Amino acid sequence: MDTIILFAMHMTHPVIIKQLSAKGIVNIYAGVTHCIAVASSGLAFSWGASSDGQLGHTGQLVPKKVKMPGSTLIWGAALGSNHSLLLTDGPSFQPDVYYLGKQPRLSPESPLKEAKDSTPKKRPTSAISKSPTVKYAARAKQPEKMMFMRKCGWMQRLSARGDVCACISDKNNSGYISILSELSATERLLYYQLSMVKTSIWKSLQSTDMLKLLENSIYLHTLRQLLDLFTIVSNAVGVNSIHLTRIVQRTQYFGDLALLSKAKEITGLFELYAKALCDFITLSGFKHIGKIAREILQKHDNTFMELLGKEEKLTDFGQEAHERQMLKESSLSWEKLQATIDSCMADAEDTKAFWDSCPNKLAESLKRPDRRIIRDSRKKPLQLVNAGRFSSNWFLLFNDVIVHAQPSAGSQIFTTHHVYNLSLVWAEPIPDTDQVKNALQLTMPEKTLSLQTNSQTAKAEWLWTINQTIDVLLTSGKEQKEIKSPNGRVPPKLARPGKHTFANHPQGRDATYEGMWLTGKPHGNGTLTWPDRRKYSGNFTNGLQNGFGWSVEPASASGTKTKVYQGQWKEGKREGRGFLRHPNGDVYLGYFRDNQCNGNGILQCVNPASIYVGQWKKDCFNGYGVKDDSLHGEKYMGFWQDNHRHGDGFVITVDGVYYEGTFNQDKLQGAGILVTEDGTCFQGQLTTGPTLNGKGTLTMPNGDYVEGNFNGLWGDEVKLTGNFNKFAEEGPPPSLTRMLGQNTASAEAKWLDIFSECWQDLGCADNKPDSRKAWTCVAAALAVGKRELEFLEGLQADVDVPTLRKAIEELERIPQHNKNIITADDLKEKEKYLSKAFDLPIHPLGRLIENLVNAFRASYVGIGAHQLLLPYAIDEVKCFIKKSYEVVRLLFPEFPDYSTKPRTPVMEQPSADFYYDYTNNDGGQSEDSSGQVEQAKEDDVSQLITPESLLHPLLLPKLCPALLTMYAVKNSDENERYLDRLNRLNRQHDMSLMAYLGIDQKFWLFEDAIYSEPSKLKEMKDVSYLEAIHTLERISTAFSPADKLGVIESTMEAIDSQVQSKEIKGHVWSMDDLFPLFQYVVTRARIPHLGSEIQFIEDLMDPGIIHGRLGILMTTLKACYIQICNENLKAL
């Protein structure tokens, strides 16, 4: 309570009175020519004029302590013109008044106001007394007690002015004020005593000489902690005494007393202080200080004697008083604290006695301030099971460790010992056998001890004590309810946090693990570190990495280059899906097995730059894969074996050269096909390079060809011997598409690992569909995903954790499945679920789609965006849809099955056309049942579900950018001609264009007002059929054939609606009317890649709708496109 006092006397600005700094001043009283400052420790300091002795010492401007007889404590004052009144604690805690200065001769006091009503009140009123006549007597230069003032009762405040004095007092000796006065006086006395200790004894203990004597000893840290806590506790007592004084003076509410409002904090401080005191006692700290600091402490013998006093019971509150209840609650907490301190002191004394009797070497090794002895096997026998006759074992149970001490060979002196962290000890009883009885087992990391007692009772006591101590340690010292079972087992938490350094870890010596444990092994989340700076953070099971985790392995002494893995583990090895960054910057994302890349994965290399997507086996490319090699400017798509091209495959170069064939250990051999960007094609013997090597046929873009023997690197000088032949057939030369694909992988043979891993993730690795098991695996995958998010959130990774967590929670709500029928609402709910699942890689379906999209983009983006690869891409998309639908049916088996026969319900139930009516014995069909069946048939939409209708809207938006790019490349020449003709057509005004296209004039829909002005009519442009035109423009923003067909259908509806609105109602469209009008809308829509859009729809549309209404509209759109591309525009 450091206080800075500002003082001004004949000065223009305040100055600091340094003599009062750090004195704990709480009140200042000012007279005419002198002042008194009262400190929280009960001392008073006066300064100013002292002509009549009112200061209690020689007058001066520097504050000086007022000497009181018997070290009386001052807590109030009042100053007149030439005198001072001091309110102090008197005998039996009743306040006394001391007088200094010119003393008046006082007649008996008389109250200024008498209570008119003698009716008893809940709390008696205080009387204000004074002396009516004043006759001055001799001066009092030393404080003199005014004995007659005790007759006024329990004084609360003093007041003085000029030569007049007054006080506020309560004459009720057992009232509210008297009780509070006792309590406040006791608290002031306690704080005074603490202040004496702090300013004398404590100051000596904190001196430089004292600290030098304790330097580098076990006592120094504990002593400093004890001194610091003593200061904090004494300050808390001081604050409480100030509050009590204010309550007595009626300047503060009783409920604001710090002892009540901050009871938990204050008792907590005392508990910390008591613990530090017990720690110091345990170390025999006071005994040690007494030896080394005898001369320093002898100076304070008088202080010790003054602090010793008698305890007296305070006056009691009334039973019904509200203040009594508040103080009672506070008292109970202090009584509980006292019991805790008593127990702590007893444990400290027992531990001190143990250290005194313990061998010095063992004591020096084990002694710690906060360590307490709990149980000693010398007093409570405990031995190793099957211990030798002459073997000697000493077991010590402390509050934090278990110690096993043993003597050296041929000696009885305990020279070696093992210390086991008690938080990582699991105590279990061992069932009795003929050979072993009354035994228990202690399980620790890397160690198991089987121990034996003399009896079942001793066994139960040891088990109970060990487990109870463990439980207290795990709950941070908070006593738990004692639970004792008949066999002596007290089950503390089996799973618990802890830290341990392994002497022999399977993955390296001196590894340190910190995290969750279970029966002596890491189990749960934790971190494992090695001296060589390797580190793993994540999940453990039975001591090994298992589940999701993150590891770092330094690859250089400086640690600047590291190998980082983040993903799934199994039995201490990388297994499952993960991300691996090599020290050279190469990155692998995919599946692992036995610490090796195995399954589907992506490898992105930095130097030289390349990317591989495909199958792996034992860290090697193995199976189908795609490698984009930027260094050589080519992309290979085919089969691999041990990092070598091996099997069927093809290469596409940055120059647009395509060649396919059979590879053997990176070498192309045998028959193959080579196609250049201009359409030149070679069929024959090919080798690496590509090099033409043997018989073959070279076909020109115009169909002419050369047959013979060829030898040389393509693009360089090629030697040939053969015959040149002209293309003799009528019509265009044969399409290259039919010639390609003879030495390439089929779509069914590609990306097998992606689908097999998905089936495995859904618990169906044996290819036996089990919907219930699959949903269980989905739930497990989502739960694992949640834990991964928590782990990533702890690492502060760049991941939107809240959004992902919300998505997981939404997918945890599983839609109804495995029903006999599928209604429109059911289908909508399932589509919504699938859409969310496909967008979340944590879900098995989302992981499947992510892998498929990565594989597709790796194949057909960049160099792979070649027109010759478009058929392969289309086949892959269709295969994706087919196989993904089979996976979806695993979760929703009610979807139709098209794997064996088309358009059949997946769940073939007995015919529902006939129902027995159990109330009608004639065997006829129940009318109610028949109605239910018909209604069920009407509600069932399963026959409308196809793989394309279900999955196209979900999958194609992710593949469309790559696909449409390939379509645009293939149709670039045709599209250029289309755009040129489209621009020429759109230069025409609406009337001219309609006339040119042959649209019947009744469909020339203009505003009626325009017809009256023929000149304007001929100038109108882009004003007719705007709704239909804007609708058709949206075809480029649709990503599935069904959506694009929907746009075409909406366009036709918009045309019909506008025609109907012009009173041409009931019109039946003929192709002669529809086609020119539709061509007008197509022309005005100005779709930039209409040919690609049409081909995209034709290649991927559901074959079931090709002959229906949508098929007709699709044919109409295609005809319009062909007309635009080929029509003679000379008439324009």
pLDDT digits (tens, 9 = 90+) for 168-224: 888 887 777 787 888 888 888 888 888 887 777 767 766 666 767 777 778 888 888
* Residue 827, phi then psi, degrees to nearest 5: -65, -40
Helix locations, 1040-1108, DSSP H: 1041-1061, 1071-1085, 1090-1100
pLDDT, residue 256, reads 76
C-alpha distances in Å from residue 745, one per residue of 659, 688, 751, 1128: 14, 19, 10, 44
Give the C-alpha separation, 390 to 386, whole Å: 12
How high is the mean pLDDT of the chain? Answer: 82
Alpha-carbon separation of residue 1129 from 217, 234, 1125 (angstroms): 106, 106, 10
What letters, b where the CB count within 10 A reaches 16 and e where it falls short, cover 673-682?
A: bbbbeeeebb
Q: Provide the pairing of β-strand 394-398 with 401-407.
A: antiparallel
Residue 282 identity: T
Which stretches of the chain score pLDDT less than 70? 1-12, 59, 103-141, 202, 205-209, 211, 293-328, 389-390, 409-412, 476-491, 557-559, 730-734, 767, 794-798, 818, 899-939, 1007-1019, 1063-1066, 1130-1132
Check the CA dihedral 537-542-547-552 and report its sign: positive
Q: What are the C-alpha distances in Å from 450 to residues 384, 436, 953? A: 6, 10, 66
- Return the closest-CA partner of residue 670 out of 661, 659, 681, 683: 661
φ/ψ region of 689 (left if φ > 0, alpha if ψ in -120 to 50, else beta) reads left
Task: Name every residue whose Cβ is closer than 8 Å to that of residue 389 and which is 6 or more positions away in sequence.
Answer: none
Of 1.10.10.10, 3.90.1310.10, 1.20.1050.80, 1.25.10.10, the CATH number of 971-1126 is: 1.20.1050.80
β-bridge mates for residue 497, sequence order: 516
Q: Phi/psi of residue 740, each to 5°?
A: -85, 165
- Beta carbons of 54 and 41 less than 8 angstroms apart: no
Find the length of the chain.
1132
Q: How far is CA 114 from CA 117, 128, 167, 178, 581, in A?
A: 9, 9, 15, 20, 93
CB 45 within 8 A of CB 67: no
Among candidate residues 36, 150, 15, the one with its CA nearest the CA of residue 83: 36
Domain ranges of the chain: 6-112+127-171, 181-349, 372-493, 655-726+735-745, 749-944, 971-1126
Q: Could you give the count of Cα atoms lying within 13 Å of 1080 in the half-sphere of its Cβ? A: 30
Beta partners for 651?
A: 636, 659
118 Cβ neighbours under 8 A, 6+ residues apart: none
Here the tokens at position 518 are 């279970």
Fold of 6-112+127-171: Methylamine Dehydrogenase; Chain H (2.130.10)
Q: Give the residue ranges of DSSP H helices in 453-512.
A: 456-474
CATH 3.40.630.30 fits 372-493, yes or no: no
Query: Which residues are CB-neighbours of 654 under 8 A, at least 6 positions away?
Result: 633, 634, 863
CB 425 within 8 A of CB 401: no
Are 74 and 88 spatial neighbours (Cβ–Cβ below 8 Å)? yes
Alpha-carbon separation of residue 810 from 375, 432, 782, 840, 988 (angstroms) = 55, 53, 10, 11, 54
Q: What pLDDT score does 1122 carry?
A: 92
The conformation of residue 873, written as its DSSP 8-state character, comes to H
Paired residues of 393 in beta bridges: none
Cα–Cα distance, 661 to 679 (Å, whole number): 18
Q: Where are any strands of DSSP class E within 510-572?
A: 512-518, 521-529, 535-541, 544-554, 562-570
Cβ within 8 Å of residue 1085, ≥6 positions away: 1029, 1032, 1033, 1035
CA distance 1036 to 1043: 10
669 CB contacts (<8 Å, ≥6 apart)?
A: 661, 662, 663, 686, 687
Task: Output the furthest CA–CA distance in the chain (Å, rounded).
Answer: 153
Residue 252 has a pLDDT of 79
Contacts of residue 884, Cβ cutoff 8 Å, sequence gap at least 6? 848, 849, 852, 947, 951, 955
Shared fold status for 6-112+127-171 and 971-1126: no
Burial degree of 882 (CB within 10 A; 0-12, 13-18, 19+): middle
Write a three-state SS string for 563-602: EEEEEEEECCEEEEEEEEECCCCCEEEEEEECCEEEEEEE
Q: Are strands 44-48 and 439-444 parallel, antiparallel or unpaired?
A: unpaired
- Dist CA 546 CA 1108 (whole Å): 56
Q: Are the C-beta atoms of 659 and 651 separated by less than 8 Å?
A: yes
3-state secondary structure of 251: coil
Q: Is 686 helix (H, G, I), strand (E, B) or coil?
A: strand
